[in-house]
Structure 1
Amino acid sequence: MTRDLHTAVSNQPDELAALAQEQAVFQGPSEGVQGTPAQGTPDGLEAVEGYQRPEYDNIPAETWTPPTAPLPDIGEASYGPAPHAETVHGPDDRVQIADTTNYPWRVHASLLITAADNSRWIGTGWFIGPHTLATAGHVVYIKNSGVAGRDGWVKSIQVMPGRNGATLPFGSVTSTNFRTVTGWTGSGDENFDYGAIIIPTELGSTTGWFGIGVWPDADLLKTTGNISGYPGDQPTGTQWYAGRGISSVNPLKVYYDIDTAGGQSGSAVYRLHNGGRYGIAVHAYGGATTNSGTRITRAVYDNLVAWKA
Structure 2
Amino acid sequence: MTRDEHTSVSNQPEGLSAIAAEQPLFRGPSEGVEGTPAQPGSDGLEQLEGYRRPEYETLSAEVWTAPTAELRDIGEASFGPAHPVAETVHGPDDRVQVTNTTTYPWRAHASLLITAADNSRWIGTGWFIGPHTLATAGHVVHIKNSGVAGRDGWVKSIQVMPGRNGTALPYGSVTSTSFRSVTGWTDSGDENYDYGAIIIPTELGSTTGWFGFGAWPDADLLKVVGNISGYPGDKPPGTQWYDGRAVSSVNPLKVYYDIDTAGGQSGSAVYRMFNGGRYGIAVHAYGGATTNSGTRITRPVYDNLLAWTA
**What's the TM-score once normalised by structure 2's chain length?**
0.90
SS at match of 2:308: helix
Q: Is the 8 A contact 1:85 1:265 kept in 2?
A: no
| 103 and 200 in structure 1: CA distance in 2 versus 1, 3 angstrom threshold | same
Q: Aligned-pair distance for 1:133?
A: 0.2
Tell me which residue corresponds to 2:76: 76
Tell me which residue corresponds to 2:94: 93
Q: Is the 8 A contact 1:9 1:182 kept in 2?
A: no
| 41 and 4 in structure 1: CA distance in 2 versus 1, 3 angstrom threshold | closer
Q: Is the 8 A contact 1:9 1:180 kept in 2?
A: no
Tell me which residue corresponds to 1:145: 146
Tell me which residue corresponds to 1:244: 245
Aligned residues: 296
Q: Aligned-pair distance for 1:57?
A: 8.9
The answer to which structure has the higher helix fraction is 1
CA distance in 2, matches of 1:264, 1:234: 11
Q: Aligned-pair distance for 1:53?
A: 1.4
What amino acid maps onto 2:262 in structure 1?
Answer: A
CA distance in 1, matches of 2:246, 2:117: 38
Q: Aligned-pair distance for 1:228?
A: 0.3
Range with bigger deviation, 87-96 or 62-71: 62-71
CA distance in 1, matches of 2:155, 2:13: 12
What amino acid maps onto 2:287 in structure 1?
Answer: G
Tell me which residue corresponds to 1:228: 229
SS at match of 1:303: helix
What does 1:101-180 correspond to in 2, within 5 Å?
Answer: 101-180=102-181
Tell me which residue corresponds to 1:17: none
Tell me which residue corresponds to 2:12: 4
Q: Is the 8 A contact 1:5 1:178 kept in 2?
A: no
Q: Aligned-pair distance for 1:8?
A: 8.3
What does 1:183-222 correspond to in 2, within 5 Å?
Answer: 183-222=184-223
1:33 to 26, 30, 33: 30
Q: Aligned-pair distance for 1:67?
A: 3.9
Q: Aligned-pair distance for 1:86?
A: 1.1
Tell me which residue corresponds to 1:49: 49
Q: Is the 8 A contact 2:195 2:295 kept in 1?
A: yes
Q: Which runs of 5+ in 1 are unaligned?
A: 13-21
Q: Aligned-pair distance for 1:29?
A: 1.8
CA distance in 1, matches of 2:249, 2:239: 29
Range with bigger deviation, 41-50 or 60-69: 60-69
Q: Aligned-pair distance for 1:265?
A: 0.2
| 44 and 57 in structure 1: CA distance in 2 versus 1, 3 angstrom threshold | closer
Tell me which residue corresponds to 1:19: none
Q: Aligned-pair distance for 1:65?
A: 2.3
Q: Is the 8 A contact 2:11 2:178 kept in 1?
A: no
What amino acid maps onto 1:203 in structure 2?
Answer: L
CA distance in 2, matches of 1:55, 1:105: 24
What amino acid maps onto 2:72 in structure 1?
Answer: P
SS at match of 1:55: helix
Q: Aligned-pair distance for 1:43?
A: 1.4
CA distance in 2, matches of 1:58, 1:26: 42
Q: Which runs of 5+ in 2 are unaligned?
A: 1-9
Q: Is the 8 A contact 1:27 1:216 kept in 2?
A: no
CA distance in 2, matches of 1:38, 1:122: 26
Q: Is the 8 A contact 1:164 1:238 kept in 2?
A: yes
SS at match of 1:184: helix
Tell me which residue corresponds to 2:65: 65
Root-mean-square deviation (Å): 2.3
SS at match of 2:12: helix
Q: Is the 8 A contact 2:25 2:302 kept in 1?
A: no
Range with bigger deviation, 220-229 or 77-86: 77-86
CA distance in 2, matches of 1:159, 1:269: 19
Q: Is the 8 A contact 2:111 2:163 kept in 1?
A: yes
CA distance in 2, matches of 1:113, 1:138: 11
What does 1:274-289 correspond to in 2, within 5 Å?
Answer: 274-289=275-290
